[in-house]
Structure 1
């Protein structure tokens, strides 16, 4: 959407933006989950270890495979020798897995999403891709496809490769660890929630039993202490996800999400000192977001750009068409800053010829967009450069293509009109 940019002022009243919240962590970010608008950012571009927050990418690929039918929830998953041995390491987050018992994709996925089970993650990775190494390639390919800016996936679980007892994925360094920037972690969480919101159905379960064997059950308590029913000291209203992480290199990290009054936020805290701290610092971020921002309708449905609600049309039975927004334009904005936005119209370049829309046009056809330019003291930022606060502009009526005869008559009319104007100018010049 370019060309024919026409600024329309709603009115500006400069205000001082409040300082962002002080988060005690190596890096942190807070994002509006709907638009990708960044509400707080601290050291978000440095690539850092992410530990088990890695599993968000594994979950994305698993949910994608389920939705596409590549695998099924009821698939039985074979347990390799490596996975069996790793599952018995109680110092790591695991449920014990047997080779003489049957586990489904659904059961193992639940242990991944609720209990961050490392061996279960690898088992599904091997089932889906054939090997963990091939799954890791899928992870990096998907990161590129989603536009993550800074990433390096080396295994599916988030453990240090050194914890895998020599069974780390082929082609990766034995001491490597998954690394992303805080911004890229937020981008991953943003896509996971957008594309597969059902991830929260499992991530929000406070506890569940895992059937490890015929007579063996394991109580899985969610590592996310902010969701209701896990830890009253850290429970947060509206929290329902998403993924914790810890290694000695990563420290205590957490990607959280919470919703209140139809506004969902995504937070990332990396490198907090303790398990409690990662939730306490996340609560600070959520409080900052919910206390200082709100969702506002900045332009109504059917909004007609003042003074520019009619656009000239070339090659049509009509010479102009009225335009308006197809839906209301809502955005998450700072409190008391609703009036700091200027609407700006952009007509679709591929529909323009010499600044005019080209017929034929259908009623309701998108012909451009109206974006809102922020006039406050701080520049607005989004997870992706392509994102903005905008709404579609559509044609209010159909404009049929003019016939050859109509275009010819218009041409003749223009010709004689030009002659008359020339004669008139000449005569006027005599006097």
Structure 2
């Protein structure tokens, strides 16, 4: 496990340079996005396709976005029946100290008090409760040290390449009052690249979409109606009614530490299209860490996805002029092709004119004919998008062929023996003369 030292103070010269540095490039030849951050990425949440990126492979601090991996492992344990929402956890001395430590994001937890897994999970996701995250690590793995091992093993399993998980909460180890997990160093930090954070978010949403119901909750009371009642305010300022409200936003996780700066993994859905964005160490115009800028810049990325990337539809008309195929040994000598739905793909505006589809037919004989009988609705091929070299995906195995099935529009029964024989004789004499 790599050991990471705390960032040293930046010189005045470096600060000045950072103030003018940004992700500023022509995006797909059309518009420019200015992002002041150490790294950033925008990904289609349905396909895993990378829409925009900057320093996406750089290993950087993620702070409380670490809790996304804790969320995944908790939801996985629930899904496998190893843990139940109603299970109770009695607060350990370690969790008590860290859940009540001044200056750390928390929902206060009482010593020796029992809390349900559901209560702890909501405190972690909505309020970013550090004590709650550590408590859940103990529920799932017995100790936070063993839980950290699972975090790194799961990261590898999910296809992450640039990562280092050292605790369950995202705190800097040196802020854990000497209670950092066994097997880690006091100077260790949670670090993940922007692309790998997007990959984790992709898996989290795909495998456990219910996470969005909790991460999208603006406010919720912890233990409402008891003497522990506590109003939890979501740390995501993109949610409805908040300072940087963004239509369709419902997740995922913020993070802030001196080491990581201000970070944010966001997601939003509009018209059945969802994007995932990651901002690592957002800066203001002077090159200084800025909590607000992570939301402002996330909105710019999401706006590009929703406004500059368009849904394009292709049908058989875009691949062939003649939509019938010859049939051999049938009562009819041709059959019409059809697709039950168009092929849909989201593309940057300036790539739309270059996009092409082709027709792949897999049941033709050497003479280009279909063999009767043919049933209506029988698959006879595919309408396929011709691959573009511009496409990149967060995981290699997500780059699959984009296609829709092509079917026979009508049935063609097989002709009887007499008709087939007559045709063969006719074809024979036609060849002679």
Q: Is the structural similarity TM-score above 0.5?
A: yes
Q: Which residue of 2 aligns with 1:383?
A: 394
Counterparts of 1:167 and 1:136 in 2: how far apart (Å)?
14
Structure 2: 5+ residue runs without aligned partners? 1-26, 283-288, 328-333, 412-416, 418-423
Q: Residue 256 of structure 1 corresponds to which residue in structure 2?
A: 266
Deviation, structure 1 residue 75: 0.8
Q: How has the CA–CA distance of structure 1 residues 344 and 154 changed in structure 2, closer, same or farther, with 3 Å as cutoff?
A: farther
Return the offset for 1:31.
1.3
- Partners of 1:34 and 1:365 in 2: CA distance: 28
Structure 1 partner of 2:5: none
1:299 to 291, 300, 314: 314
Provide Cα deviations, 1:315-371, integer angstroms capped at 9, x if missing partner: xxxxx99876564321212236433211245689xx99999999x999878787544
Distance 1:130 1:16, change over 3 A: closer
2:301 corresponds, among 262, 282, 285, to 285
In structure 2, how many angstroms separate the alpha carbons of the residues matched to 1:325 and 1:126? 52
Distance 1:82 1:395, change over 3 A: same
1:76, 1:102 within 8 Å by CA — same for their partners in 2?
A: yes
Within 5 Å, give how 1:145-160 maps onto structure 2: 145-160=157-172
Residue 205 (structure 1) aligned to one of 214, 217, 222: 217
1:263: Cα distance to partner?
2.1
Q: In structure 2, what is the Cα distance between the partners aligned to 1:65 and 1:82?
A: 23
Match of 1:334 in 2: 348
The match for 2:79 is: 67
Secondary structure of the structure 2 residue equivalent to 1:216: coil
Q: Where does 1:184-195 land on structure 2 (aligned, <5 Å)? A: 184-195=196-207
Q: Is contact 2:64–2:253 with CA below 8 Å preserved after alignment?
A: yes
Q: Equivalents in 2 of 1:121, 1:354: separation in Å?
A: 63
Q: Structure 1: give runs of 5+ residues left out of the alignment.
A: 1-14, 314-319, 400-405, 407-412, 425-431
Distance 1:60 1:344, change over 3 A: farther
Show the 5 A alignment for 1:314-325: none
Q: Which residue of 2 aligns with 1:244?
A: 254
Match for 1:373 among 380, 383, 386?
386
Structure 1 residues 355 and 219, CA gap change in structure 2 (3 angstroms) = farther
Q: 1:83 to 1:42 in 2, by over 3 A?
A: same
Aligned to 1:5: none
User: Deviation string for 1:229-260 (max 9, x for gaps)?
Assistant: 33x3x112221111000111111000111122
Task: Please give the alpha-carbon distance, in whole angstroms, between the structure 2 residues aligned to 1:150 and 1:363.
Answer: 50
Q: Which whole-Å CA distance do the structure 1 matches of 2:366 and 2:157 have between them?
A: 36
Following the alignment from structure 1 to structure 2, what is the Cα–Cα distance between the partners of residues 295 and 123? 44
Which of 324, 343, 362 is 2:357 aligned to?
343
* 3-state SS of 1:22 partner: strand
- Secondary structure of the structure 2 residue equivalent to 1:29: strand
Q: Which has the higher contact order (CA 8 A, sep 6+)?
A: 1
- Taking structure 1 as reference, are residues 389 and 41 closer, same or farther at Cα in structure 2, changes over 3 Å only? farther
Corresponding position of 1:101: 113
Distance 2:367 2:174 in 1: 62
2:51 corresponds, among 35, 39, 44, to 39
**Number of positions where the alignment pairs a residue of Structure 1 with one of Structure 2:** 392
Alpha carbons of structure 1 residues 102 and 31: separation in structure 2 relative to 1, 3 Å:
same
Indicate how the Cα distance of structure 1 residues 146 and 326 shifts in structure 2: closer, same or farther if over 3 A, else same: farther
Q: 1:389 to 1:262 in 2, by over 3 A?
A: farther
Matches of 2:188 and 2:270 in 1, distance apart? 39
Distance 1:284 1:16, change over 3 A: closer
CA distance in 2, matches of 1:47, 1:361: 56
Matched, 1:269 2:271: no
Note closer, same or farther for the CA distance 1:270–1:306 as it changes in structure 2 (3 Å cut). Answer: same
State the 1:288 CA deviation: 2.1
Aligned partners of 2:29 and 2:350 also within 8 Å: no
Partner of 1:3: none
Relative distance call for 1:262 and 1:212 in structure 2 (3 A) is closer
- Does structure 2 conserve the Cα–Cα contact (< 8 Å) formed by 1:366 and 1:392? no
Return closer, same or farther for 1:344/1:153 CA change in 2, 3 Å cut-off: farther
**Residues of 2 paired with 1:65 and 1:322: CA distance?**
51
Instruction: Give the root-mean-square deviation of aligned CA atoms.
Output: 4.0
- Residue 8 of structure 2 aligns with which residue? none
Structure 1 position 396, deviation (Å) = 4.2
Question: 3-state DSSP class of the match of 2:275?
Answer: strand
In 1: Cα distance, 2:304 partner to 2:150 partner: 36
